[in-house]
C-alpha cells in the first residue's frame, strides 16, 4: 500500500519519506505506516506553531526597542534571530516570508553592532568576517537537509546518517558536508563505501549513490556550523 506524504514535509515527515521503500535503509528500516506519517506531520505542525509564536514575540520586542538599547540586548537578539532562522529552515510548508524577515532583522542588528564599533578597526574586521560567515551559513540552510541535521532533536541519528546523506542529491550533499570536519568526512566516505558494497552484494547496485562518494572527499568551500553527531554505521 502506498503512503501519502506532504508536498513540503518538515523534519520528521521528511525522514520517514526518505526511508520509505529505500534500500539504503535496508539494514535499519522499520515498517512505516500512514499512522507513522500522520504522527510525524503532527510533530512538524507543533514545531511550526512554536516557531510562529517565538517569531511574533521577537517582532514585538524589536518594535518596542528603545533608541539607546544596551549592547547586551542587541547581542541576545542576534543569537535569537540566528536560532529562529535555523529552526525556520527545517520546517515544512512555505516560510519564505519569515526567513526574509529574519534576514532583514539580522542585517539591521549587525549594522547597529557595527555602528557601536565605528572607531575600532580590529573589531570591525572581526564583525565583517562574522557577517560573511553567517551569510554562508544561511545559504547552507537553504537546503532542508542541513537544518534537519542541526535540529537539536533530529530524527537523523548516528545510525542512519549515512543512508540519509546518500539519499540526497549532489547539491544538498555538498552543502551538508560543510557540517563535518576532515576526519568525520573520511569516516563518512569509508562507511558509505562499506554500506554500498554490502548492498551491491545483496543485489542493489544504486549507481546514483555511488556517484555521490567523490563529493565526500571534496574540501568544503564554505565551512558552517558543525554538527556534533557521532558517526557510526554497523
* Closest by Cα among 220, 228, 97 to 151: 228
In a domain, 46, yes or no: yes
Q: Is the pLDDT of residue 222 over 60?
A: no
Q: For residue 69, give its domain range.
A: 35-145
In a domain, 135, yes or no: yes
Q: What is the pLDDT of residues 30-68, one digit of tens each?
A: 899 999 999 999 999 999 999 999 999 999 988 887 777
In a domain, 193, yes or no: no
Q: What is the pLDDT of residues 81-91, one digit of tens each?
A: 999 999 999 99
In a domain, 61, yes or no: yes
The three three-digit cell numbers of residue 87, written as one number: 529552526
In a domain, 225, yes or no: no
* Closest by Cα among 99, 175, 90, 87 to 137: 175
* Closest by Cα among 106, 120, 113, 105 to 72: 113
In this prediction, residue 125 has a pLDDT band, given cuts at 50, 70 and 90, of confident
Cα distances (angstroms) measured from residue 96 to each of 55, 91, 100, 101: 13, 11, 6, 9
Give the model's pLDDT for residue 76.
86
Q: Is the pLDDT of residue 234 over 50?
A: no
Dist CA 178 CA 186 (whole Å): 13
Q: What is the pLDDT of residues 171-199, one digit of tens each?
A: 999 999 999 999 999 999 999 999 999 99
Q: What is the pTM of this model?
A: 0.85
Q: Is the pLDDT of residue 227 over 70?
A: no
Dist CA 176 CA 141 (whole Å): 9
In a domain, 213, yes or no: no
- CA geometry: angle 141, 145, 148, nearest 5 deg: 90
User: In Å, how far from its chain's centre is CA 170?
Assistant: 16
In a domain, 1, yes or no: no
Mean pLDDT, range 5-28, rounded to an integer: 94
**Residue positions counted in the chain:** 234
Task: State how many domains the chain has.
Answer: 1
Give the model's pLDDT for residue 232.
42
Q: What is the pLDDT of residues 131-187, one digit of tens each?
A: 788 888 899 999 999 999 999 999 999 999 999 999 999 999 999 999 999 999 999
Mean pLDDT, range 11-17, rounded to an integer: 96
In a domain, 186, yes or no: no
Q: Is the pLDDT of residue 230 over 50?
A: no
* More reliable by pLDDT, 76 or 12: 12
Dist CA 177 CA 175 (whole Å): 6
Amino acid at each position: 500500500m502506498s503512503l501519502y506524504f506532504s508536498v513540503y514535509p518538515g523534519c520528521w515527515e521528511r525522514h520517514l519519506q526518505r526511508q520509505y521503500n529505500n534500500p539504503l535503509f535496508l539494514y535499519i528500516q522499520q515498517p512505516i505506516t500512514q499512522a507513522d506519517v500522520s504522527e510525524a506531520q503532527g510533530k512538524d505542525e507543533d514545531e511550526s506553531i512554536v516557531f510562529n509564536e517565538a517569531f511574533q514575540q521577537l517582532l514585538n520586542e524589536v518594535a518596542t526597542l528603545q533608541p539607546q538599547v544596551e549592547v547586551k540586548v542587541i547581542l541576545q537578539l542576534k543569537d535569537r534571530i540566528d536560532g529562529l532562522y535555523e529552526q525556520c529552515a527545517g520546517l515544512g510548508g512555505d516560510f519564505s516570508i519569515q526567513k526574509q524577515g529574519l534576514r532583514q532583522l539580522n542585517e539591521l542588528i549587525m549594522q547597529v553592532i557595527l555602528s557601536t564599533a565605528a572607531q575600532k578597526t580590529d573589531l570591525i574586521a572581526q564583525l565583517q568576517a562574522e557577517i560573511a560567515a553567517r551569510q554562508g551559513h544561511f545559504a547552507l540552510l537553504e537546503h532542508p537537509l542541513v537544518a534537519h541535521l542541526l535540529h537539536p532533536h533530529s530524527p537523523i541519528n548516528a545510525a542512519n546518517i549515512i543512508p540519509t546523506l546518500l539519499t540526497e542529491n549532489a547539491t544538498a550533499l555538498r552543502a551538508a558536508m560543510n557540517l563535518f570536519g576532515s576526519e568525520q568526512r573520511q569516516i563518512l566516505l569509508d562507511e558509505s563505501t562499506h554500506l554500498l558494497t554490502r548492498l551491491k552484494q545483496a543485489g542493489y547496485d544504486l549507481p546514483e549513490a555511488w556517484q555521490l562518494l567523490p563529493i565526500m572527499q571534496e574540501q568544503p568551500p564554505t565551512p558552517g556550523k558543525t554538527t556534533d553527531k557521532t558517526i557510526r554505521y554497523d
